[in-house]
Amino acid sequence: FEVREYVSSSEYRLLPLRKAPKEISWGSDDDALKRSDFFALQDIPLYQRLGGDNAIYSIAETIVRKLLTEKKLNDYLSSISLMTLIHKQQDFLKTAFGSTNQASLPAENIREFYRLHTSPELDEPALNRVIEILNNTLTELEVPEHEVSKLISALYQADHA
- Is a pLDDT exceeding 90 seen at residue 48? no
Residue with more model confidence, 40 or 145: 145
- Is a pLDDT exceeding 80 seen at residue 25? no
2-31 exposure pattern, b = at least 16 Cβ within 10 A, e = fewer:
eeeeeeeeeeeeeeeeeeeeeeeeeeeeee
Which sign, positive or negative, has the C-alpha torsion 140, 55, 145, 71? negative
Residue with more model confidence, 40 or 115: 115
Which residues partner with 92 through β-bridges? none
- Is a pLDDT exceeding 50 seen at residue 92? yes
pLDDT given at position 3: 53
Decide if 2 contacts 17 (C-beta within 8 A): yes
By three-state DSSP, how is residue 9 classified?
Answer: coil
Decide if 47 contacts 94 (C-beta within 8 A): yes
pLDDT given at position 14: 61
- Is a pLDDT exceeding 60 seen at residue 114? yes
- Is a pLDDT exceeding 90 seen at residue 68? yes
Confidence category of residue 1, pLDDT binned at 50, 70, 90: very low
For residue 75, count other CB atoms closer than 10 A to its CB: 12
- The residues, ordered by sequence, that sit 6+ positions from 132 with a Cβ below 8 Å of its Cβ are none
| 61-86 mean pLDDT | 93
| 93-112 mean pLDDT | 73
- Average pLDDT of every residue of the chain: 80
Residue with more model confidence, 36 or 131: 131
Residue with more model confidence, 44 or 148: 148
pLDDT given at position 159: 57
Measure the CA–CA gap between 33 and 11, rounded to whole angstroms: 45
By three-state DSSP, how is residue 5 classified?
Answer: strand
